[in-house]
Amino acid sequence: MYDRPVHRVLGGRFELLALLGEGGMGAGWRARDRELDELVALKLIRPELAADGAMVARFRSEVKLARRVTHRHVARIFEVGTLDGEAYFTMELVEGPSLAQRLRAGRRPWRDAVEVAHALALALEAAHAAGVIHRDVKPDNVLLEDGGRVVLTDFGIAAARASAGGGLAGTPAYMAPEQLAGDPPTAAVDVYALGVVLHEMLTGLPAWRGHLAELLAAKQACEALEVGLPEIDPALADVVRRATARDPARRIRSASELRGLLTRWIDPEAAAVRPPRRRDCASVRDVVVSPLAPGPELEAGGVAFLGEALYEQLVARLWHVPGLRVVASWQAGARPRPAAEAAITVDDAITVSARDGAGAELVRVRVPPVASLLAATAATVASGLAAGLGIVEDEPSAALPEEAAARYLRARHLARRMGSRSVAQAVAGYDAALALAPGDTRVLAARAMALARMVFFARPDHEALAAAAAAAAAALARAPERAESQIAAGQVALHQGDPVAAAAHLRQALARAPYAAEAHEWLGRILLEAGHVEEGIARVETALSLDPRLELAQWEIARAYALEGDWARHDAIASALIGDSRLRATPWAARFASWRGDHARALEILANADPREGESGFPPEFLARVGRGFTGGWAGERDALLAYTANRPASLRRAAMVCPLVAECAGAAGDVATCVVALERAIASGFFDLHWLDRCPLLAAPRAAGALAALRPPVAARSQRILDALYGESPSHNATADTVFATPTATPTTG
């Protein structure tokens, strides 16, 4: 069918070495990428499909989405494009047979079957965490690498094929009944398909045969698949039964839960899996939680921080509710009407109200502004909202003692602000909370994070870094399972110049608490700097969905679009998230203006900025020198600015930010030699901002002179190690939020 001789070179780049197989979308080839001198799997789209512009657009969109899934049990997708008039994409070449080929020899030993299913559940867990549904899990799409690794392939291909007129997205024999009936695919269809694959491995026989109509009727009539072999552990047979339940409400709720259930046969010492919550639902629904709308109060003595803390706790509670997805208010306009909206107001009391999509009130709670009531209030509101939508919620967790909680929450409110003074006040607040609740891991971890930020501002204070490291170590030693402990350790690692260790800690944080906005924020920022732009933006947007007040996250999205040269997107995002007033008086905005080539605007912004060191973390003298360096005064400022790069502050992250600023000045002035010196010093301090190195417009002169060629490889290698630390090993058992289904039911309003 494919008249493409071996060793044909596609687009002068990909040498086709051997045909790996053919499928509904096209052919897969073992190929050599001559540009990178690497072997890859190259998939060429059938010519008749590639001629369909809409299909190709959908295909590219699906593959770009699938690129977000990076996990050792997922075949990495590298790029998608068109060469010699043929649409293609490349992915990791996995040397080994498919599971389908292995199954032709008969059933698998039950332990092998469980190990394969466990690995696939991990792969799906990572995919669902990235918002990607496979839709076509089947033995043909599972590769068994010669070294023992199990690899899931062809993410997004089923959807692209369906858009080309193929009808259903998937393979009917492995599709869930609701998917086969034409319902929109959700994560539960992947759980069902994996259950069918596990059944086939255990029995050696395909679970379903027949034409589409026959399969639809058979699956609608079958409650679940039964293994029915005496040598199979009844508990394992029950896992298959629950994974393949016809009714999604009775099915295992997520790939994470399925993986957890299989763990007992992988590691007998593993802790018992918590019994699943029953789901009475059939679709994921959005809930918008609006940021705090405070009433009239003075900041110095007010209680707005309690409203902010309640917002955090309510979002965290709702994240755990099956069938609900928390959406930021700034994102809501791009989505259909949400199932429910919640709002918090603060005056002489704290009021939380939630209404459904039709405006009917689901729950209203009004409580005194007392810190010890917040956890119970969040639990009450979440439970009332969930009950109004027909969903069962968990029990609330324990709270800190009243006075300790008040000091802790006020300190968190201060720590969220940009600037050295607020962070110092936050550390003092945490110290006071620890005096009242010694050893509390939440406070210890939060204090460690604040101390790490102090290190950034307190340039010569090496003792502060040691204190931050000690605080993070104490939090990790007392409660490594808490996300806050891992986030603290990650932030300290960043300031110690070890972004790879930071990435690993942040991954652990999300494995323990996928609703932790700070973990998503820092993970997104690291990914953006490391040049993984799509993944980074997705993570930062997730952070802002959970907490729209994360100001640094707002700036990071604006920065990413500025570096991409997408100024229309930058302006829209910056105006919506940051606000025009902040854009007129913040040093970060001045930097973006200089990237735009508007140095006069940059100087104007710096002139309006707070004259104190404040939120930027840089002294006014340094910023003034940078401004003069950009406006014709580079020769007079060169030596002083270069001296800044020679200083060795306690925070290597600070050094890795100062040096690029000086490099920008030098690059804009055409001083290539000084630019290189500043960048070499940045790299020695742990610099990994590959996105900036590749895209900053002020480095055009050194880039054109070839001066960056020798500097890029160590930064690129560091970027890859960061990605490996994030996605190279199996995530923990809570690494993804549940994606489940809900059917609205009438429930009395509570309040």
Higher model confidence: residue 388 or residue 223? 223
Higher model confidence: residue 89 or residue 177? 177
250 plus 180 within the same structural domain = yes
pLDDT bracket for residue 578 (50, 70, 90): low
Query: Whole-angstrom Cα distance, residue 498 to residue 504?
Result: 10
pLDDT digits (tens, 9 = 90+) for 263-282: 888 854 433 333 333 333 33
Which pLDDT value is given to residue 243? 95
Query: Whole-angstrom Cα distance, residue 240 to residue 256?
Result: 15
Q: Tokens standing for 682?
A: 């940045």
Q: Tokens standing for 353?
A: 């109200």
The CATH number assigned to the domain holding 201 equals 1.10.510.10
pLDDT digits (tens, 9 = 90+) for 554-575: 888 888 989 999 888 888 877 7
Q: Is the pLDDT of residue 396 over 50?
A: no
Query: Whole-angstrom Cα distance, residue 399 to residue 686?
Result: 39
Query: Whole-angstrom Cα distance, residue 89 to residue 21?
Result: 15
b/e code 608-630 from CB counts within 10 Å (16+ = b): ebeeebbbbbbebebbebbbbbb
Is residue 594 a part of any domain in this protein? yes
Residue 455, phi then psi, degrees to nearest 5: -60, -40
107 plus 128 within the same structural domain = yes
Last residue of a domain, one of 91, 111, 132: 91
pLDDT bracket for residue 695 (50, 70, 90): very high
Pairing mode of beta strands 26-33, 350-356: unpaired
57 plus 106 within the same structural domain = no
Residue 142's beta-bridge partner residues? 152
Kindly list the strands in the beta sheet with 38-45, ordered across the sheet, starting from the edge strand earlier in the chain: 9-10, 14-22, 26-33, 38-45, 86-91, 77-83
CA 618: distance to chain centroid?
30
pLDDT bracket for residue 197 (50, 70, 90): very high
Query: Whole-angstrom Cα distance, residue 8 to residue 605?
Result: 57
592 plus 633 within the same structural domain = yes
The predicted model gives 157-186 an average pLDDT of 67
pLDDT bracket for residue 696 (50, 70, 90): very high
Most confident range (mean pLDDT) of 8-17, 70-79, 488-497, 693-702 is: 693-702
Is residue 78 a part of any domain in this protein? yes
pLDDT digits (tens, 9 = 90+) for 324-344: 667 665 555 545 678 888 888
pLDDT bracket for residue 581 (50, 70, 90): low
Q: Is the pLDDT of residue 441 over 50?
A: yes
pLDDT bracket for residue 455 (50, 70, 90): confident
b/e code 142-176 from CB counts within 10 Å (16+ = b): bbbeeeeebbbbbbbbbbbbbbbebebbbbbbbbb
698 plus 676 within the same structural domain = yes
Place of tokens 């009332």: 384
The predicted model gives 536-549 an average pLDDT of 78
Query: Whole-angstrom Cα distance, residue 371 to residue 375?
Result: 8
Average pLDDT, the chain: 77
The CATH number assigned to the domain holding 42 equals 3.30.200.20
Query: Whole-angstrom Cα distance, residue 129 to residue 133?
Result: 10
Task: Please state whether the predicted TM-score (pTM) of the whole model is above 0.95.
Answer: no
Domains in the chain: how many in total? 3
Is residue 534 a part of any domain in this protein? no
Is residue 70 a part of any domain in this protein? yes
Higher model confidence: residue 598 or residue 337? 598
Q: Is the pLDDT of residue 392 over 80?
A: no
Which pLDDT value is given to residue 741? 21
The predicted model gives 433-450 an average pLDDT of 84
> Percentage of the chain with pLDDT > 70?
78
Is 348 catalytic? The answer is no
69 plus 210 within the same structural domain = no
Residue 344's beta-bridge partner residues? 352
The predicted model gives 383-406 an average pLDDT of 66
Query: Whole-angstrom Cα distance, residue 47 to residue 28?
Result: 14
Pairing mode of beta strands 293-294, 142-144: unpaired
Last residue of a domain, one of 72, 91, 110: 91
Which pLDDT value is given to residue 697? 94
136 plus 230 within the same structural domain = yes
The predicted model gives 16-32 an average pLDDT of 80
For residue 462, give the nearest of 490, 511, 496, 487 by alpha carbon: 496
Most confident range (mean pLDDT) of 295-304, 399-408, 456-465 is: 399-408
Containing structural domain, residue 638: 584-710
Give the DSSP H/E element, type plus range, for residue 230.
Answer: none
The amino acid occupying position 488 is: A
Q: Is the pLDDT of residue 662 over 90?
A: yes
CB 2 within 8 A of CB 45: no
Query: Whole-angstrom Cα distance, residue 480 to residue 478?
Result: 6
The predicted model gives 529-551 an average pLDDT of 80
Other residues' Cβ atoms within 10 Å of the Cβ of residue 349: 13
69 plus 190 within the same structural domain = no
> Percentage of the chain with pLDDT > 90?
17
Q: What is the DSSP string of 68-134?
A: T---TTBPPEEEEEEETTEEEEEEPPP-S-BHHHHHTT-PPPHHHHHHHHHHHHHHHHHHHHTT---
The predicted model gives 223-251 an average pLDDT of 89
Query: Whole-angstrom Cα distance, residue 503 to residue 510?
Result: 11
Helix (H), strand (E), coil (C) string for 483-539: HHHHHHHHHHHHHCCCHHHHHHHHHHHHHHCCCCHHHHHHHHHHHHHCCCHHHHHHH
CB 66 within 8 A of CB 156: yes
Query: Whole-angstrom Cα distance, residue 568 to residue 575?
Result: 11
Query: Whole-angstrom Cα distance, residue 298 to residue 548?
Result: 22
For residue 431, give the nearest of 419, 448, 416 by alpha carbon: 448
Query: Whole-angstrom Cα distance, residue 191 to residue 125?
Result: 10
- Give the three-class secondary structure for 554: helix
Q: Is the pLDDT of residue 691 over 70?
A: yes
- The distance in angstroms from the start CA to the end CA of the chain is 67
The amino acid occupying position 636 is: G
613 plus 704 within the same structural domain = yes
Is residue 29 a part of any domain in this protein? yes
The amino acid occupying position 640 is: A
Query: Whole-angstrom Cα distance, residue 86 to residue 30?
Result: 16
Catalytic residue (choose from 33, 37, 52, 136): 136
Residue 74's beta-bridge partner residues? 152
Is residue 533 a part of any domain in this protein? no
Residue 150's beta-bridge partner residues? 144
Which pLDDT value is given to residue 682? 92
CB 406 within 8 A of CB 371: yes
pLDDT digits (tens, 9 = 90+) for 601-660: 877 777 766 554 444 556 778 878 888 888 788 999 999 999 988 877 777 888 888 899
614 plus 675 within the same structural domain = yes
Is residue 543 a part of any domain in this protein? no
Rg (CA), the chain: 27
Give the DSSP H/E element, type plus range, for residue 598.
Answer: none
Query: Whole-angstrom Cα distance, residue 324 to residue 385?
Result: 10
CB 286 within 8 A of CB 327: yes
For residue 284, give the nearest of 355, 335, 222 by alpha carbon: 335
CB 641 within 8 A of CB 659: no
CB 70 within 8 A of CB 726: yes
Which pLDDT value is given to residue 169? 55
Residue 346's beta-bridge partner residues? 294, 350
pLDDT digits (tens, 9 = 90+) for 468-527: 888 888 888 887 767 788 888 998 898 888 888 998 888 888 766 666 788 888 888 998
The predicted model gives 712-727 an average pLDDT of 85
Which pLDDT value is given to residue 116? 95
Which pLDDT value is given to residue 699? 94
Q: Which residues contact 208 (CB under 8 A, 6 or more apart)?
A: 172, 173, 174, 196, 215, 218, 219
661 plus 613 within the same structural domain = yes
Q: Is the pLDDT of residue 133 over 90?
A: no
pLDDT bracket for residue 163 (50, 70, 90): very low
**Distance set, CA 630 to CA 157, 592, 602, 636, 691 (Å):** 49, 13, 9, 11, 22
The predicted model gives 369-387 an average pLDDT of 79
Which pLDDT value is given to residue 307? 82
Is residue 212 a part of any domain in this protein? yes
55 plus 191 within the same structural domain = no
Q: Tokens standing for 101?
A: 């080929």
Contacts 24+ apart (CB under 8 A), 670-673: 670/701, 671/634, 671/638, 672/701, 672/702, 672/705, 672/707
Pairing mode of beta strands 293-294, 340-346: parallel
Last residue of a domain, one of 91, 118, 141: 91
Residues in the chain: 751
Query: Whole-angstrom Cα distance, residue 230 to residue 280?
Result: 33
Per-residue DSSP letter, 750: B
pLDDT bracket for residue 65 (50, 70, 90): low
pLDDT digits (tens, 9 = 90+) for 90-132: 888 888 888 998 888 777 889 999 999 999 999 898 888 777 8
Q: Which residues contact 473 (CB under 8 A, 6 or more apart)?
A: 489
